[in-house]
Structure 1
Amino acid sequence: MSIHTDMKRLSRLSAILLQLQTKRLVNANDLAEKFAVSVRTIYRDIRVLEQTGVPIASIEGKGYALAEGYKIPPVMFTEQEANALITAQQLINLNKDSSLIDTYKTAVDKVKAVLNYTVKDKVELLSKRVAVSPASLEQPTSSSLTAIQNALTSFTVLRMSYRAEGKNDSSERLIEPFAFYYSMQQHWTLIAFCRLRNDFRMFRLDRIEAVYPTDFKFAPHQLSLQEYLQEKEKNFTAPDKQLS
């Protein structure tokens, strides 16, 4: 086996390990397609990882997962990956939700913490050489994005105070967060199942006055985001109008 082949396999093993670290389940067929190898090769790669001491659980008919509680040492970011995150931070600052801005800054700080000194100095230099026009920056107009994200992924019902366009008073709703959509008007929009209307509705985040988690859970909706958007294209209604 050539050195080139060995290096290629080592790179693939590292990538598979990263997939196992970031996903609850990985499927052999998906991995084979991703790395352009046979499923049999993926089976061999999994065995190699197991032989090196990585506890991989095989779940029949579903795929592979890291054993519960097993932790892989922090991923070391390359200089290019760190640069991409630093540059993206300036774009994140353009969005209008303060919770997302703050959370992304914390995440970038954690990335910087695991960089080696040489890359850390380069990233620090780059962060001082990337800027967004002040004319593009506006004060954040919402602060609920990350709280809603948490509810969406944990299937928690939210109690929401919402003020629709053209209305002076806000209304109280129980909603089941479904997805987010960033509109051409540069507004984050929440797509959620409204229990009052018994249907999906779209809510602009800058019109959400408050959100509170409840003790209620909801079953995951079978509808996909793509299916929802395709349906909306057929019969489009402006977000605030859907609250009538």
Structure 2
Amino acid sequence: MSTHTDMKRLTRLSAILLQLQTRRLINANDLAEKFVVSVRTIYRDIRVLEQIGVPIASFEGKGYSLAEGYKIPPIMFTEQEANALITAQQLINLNKDSSLIDTYKEAVDKVKAVLNYSTKDKVELLSKRVAVSPASMEQPTSNSLATIQNALTSFSVLRIHYKAEGKNESSARLIEPFAFYYSMQQHWTLIAFCRLRNDFRMFRLDRIEAVYSTDLKFATHQLSLQEYLQEKEKNFTSPDKQLS
């Protein structure tokens, strides 16, 4: 086997490890398609990883998963990957939710911490050479995105105070976060099941005056985001008018 072939396989093995680390379950067909190899090649790669001590659990007909509790050492970012994150930070700063801006900055700081010294210097230089138009910079109008994201992924009911357009007072509602939608008007909109209306509704984050966590849980909704959006295209109603 040539040195070039060996390097390609080592690169693929590392990439498969990354996929196993970032996804709970992945099947051989998906891996074969991603790396443009045969399924048989993926089988051989998995056996190699098992032989070097990586505890991979196999689920017949479903795929592979890393054994519970197994941790892979941090994977170094390439210079191009770090540059992409630094550039994207300027776009994130245009976002109107301050919690997303703060969380992304913390994530980028952690990325910088694992870079080697030469890459750190290059990333620092790039961060000083990327800017956005001052006319685009506006004060964030919400700070609840991070809290709602956590509730969505943990299936936790939230209590919110929402003030629809044209209303003098806000209304209190119990909601089950379902998905997020970013509109062309540069507003984050939360799609959630409203227990008061007993139906899905859209809530603009900049109109949520307060959000509170609760101990209530809800079951996973069977509706997909794509199905919801297709239905809304047929009969579109603005977030504010939905609650009138």
Shorter-normalised TM range: over 0.9
Deviation by residue 1:6-45 (Cα, 9 ceiling, x = unmatched): 1111111111000011111111111111112121211111
Structure 2 counterpart of 1:38: 38
Structure 1 residue 167 displacement after superposition: 0.5
Give the whole-Å Cα distance in 1 for the aligned partners of 2:183 and 2:236: 13
Structure 1 counterpart of 2:164: 164
Structure 1 residue 69 displacement after superposition: 1.1
Q: Helix, strand or coil for the counterpart of 1:18? A: helix
1:132-151 alignment runs, 5 A limit? 132-151=132-151
Count of aligned residue pairs for this structure pair = 244
1:218-237 alignment runs, 5 A limit? 218-237=218-237
Structure 1 residue 209 displacement after superposition: 0.8
Q: TM-score, normalised by structure 2?
A: 0.98
Q: Which moved more, 1:28-37 or 1:79-88?
A: 28-37
Q: Is residue 2:69 matched to residue 1:69? A: yes
Give the whole-Å Cα distance in 1 for the aligned partners of 2:43 and 2:210: 49
Structure 1 residue 61 displacement after superposition: 2.6
Q: TM-score, normalised by structure 1?
A: 0.98
The amino acid across from 2:173 in the alignment is R
Give the whole-Å Cα distance in 1 for the aligned partners of 2:2 and 2:230: 49
Q: Helix, strand or coil for the counterpart of 1:101? A: helix
Structure 1 residue 222 displacement after superposition: 1.1
Q: Is residue 2:120 matched to residue 1:125? A: no
Structure 1 residue 3 displacement after superposition: 1.9
Structure 2 counterpart of 1:80: 80
Stretches of structure 1 lacking an aligned partner (at least 5 in a row): none
Give the whole-Å Cα distance in 1 for the aligned partners of 2:116 and 2:226: 41
Identity of aligned residues (%): 89
Stretches of structure 2 lacking an aligned partner (at least 5 in a row): none
Structure 1 residue 65 displacement after superposition: 1.0
Structure 1 counterpart of 2:202: 202
Q: Helix, strand or coil for the counterpart of 1:44? A: helix
Q: Which moved more, 1:129-138 or 1:141-150?
A: 129-138
Structure 2 counterpart of 1:51: 51
Give the whole-Å Cα distance in 2 for the aligned partners of 1:40 and 1:173: 53
Give the whole-Å Cα distance in 2 for the aligned partners of 1:216 and 1:31: 38
Structure 2 counterpart of 1:27: 27
The amino acid across from 1:123 in the alignment is V
Give the whole-Å Cα distance in 2 for the aligned partners of 1:154 and 1:124: 36
Deviation by residue 1:191-242 (Cα, 9 ceiling, x = unmatched): 0010111111000000001111111111111111111111111111111111
Give the whole-Å Cα distance in 2 for the aligned partners of 1:210 and 1:40: 54
Give the whole-Å Cα distance in 2 for the aligned partners of 1:27 and 1:240: 43
Structure 2 counterpart of 1:99: 99
The amino acid across from 1:19 in the alignment is Q
Give the whole-Å Cα distance in 1 for the aligned partners of 2:3 and 2:26: 28
